[in-house]
Chains A and B, each alone.
Chain A
């Protein structure tokens, strides 16, 4: 297989999986699951930037988009779940 064919297959796999991940993250009903899918989405998008030969953008996407953003959103999802269970009347504390 020539290099061009390999690159085309590589890009096709990257694109299709990115779309599937994006839909799964947006359509997910549960916040923590959506955040996990968002972290995976950030990793995948960073791979795409790396494939487009833009290592600086890939660096920023991996560090900010998936790493720090994912960690903050995990904390926010946990806080939202705790508030919801407390307002339902469960003994959360």
Chain B
């Protein structure tokens, strides 16, 4: 069963690598931010699977930090400039 979890983590990792293409080519910054968000969520899933298959329970805390990081990055990205776009 740990082998199965590791195989699923590998599939998720390949999915993340494919999603990275959107970060590189994405036409607008909003596309890149969305791709980074998907990257963070898939990263959480990979970390949860690795925590069980490698038997390192502390990786759950890293997954919590990933969730916080996504919120901070999106908030920093969508913050409005003081002068120009108040409305």
Interface residues of A (CB under 8 A from B): 1-3, 6-7, 9-10, 13-14, 17, 20-21, 24, 32-33, 36-37, 39-40, 43, 46-47, 50-51, 53, 55-56, 58-59, 62-63, 66-68, 70-71, 74-75, 78, 82, 92-93
For residue B13, CB closer than 8 A to chain A, the reply is yes
Q: Name the contact of A67 in the complex, choosing from B2, B72, B79 (C-beta under 8 A).
A: B72
Q: 1/0 per position for B43-73, CB-CB distance to A under 8 A?
A: 1001100100010101101100110110011
Instruction: Specify the chain A residue showing the minimal Cβ separation from B65.
Output: A62
Q: Are A36 and B7 in contact (CB under 8 A)?
A: no
16 additional contacts, CB 8 Å, given A36-B29, A55-B58, A74-B73?
A1-B3, A13-B13, A17-B16, A32-B29, A46-B43, A46-B62, A47-B43, A50-B50, A50-B56, A59-B65, A62-B65, A63-B69, A70-B76, A71-B72, A71-B75, A92-B84
**A63–B33 alpha-carbon span in the complex (Å):** 18
| Chain A residues, Cβ within 8 Å of B66 | 43, 46, 62
**A74–B36 alpha-carbon span in the complex (Å):** 14
**A66–B43 alpha-carbon span in the complex (Å):** 13
* A47 CB to nearest B CB, Å: 6
Q: Are B6 and A78 in contact (CB under 8 A)?
A: no
| Chain A residues, Cβ within 8 Å of B72 | 67-68, 70-71
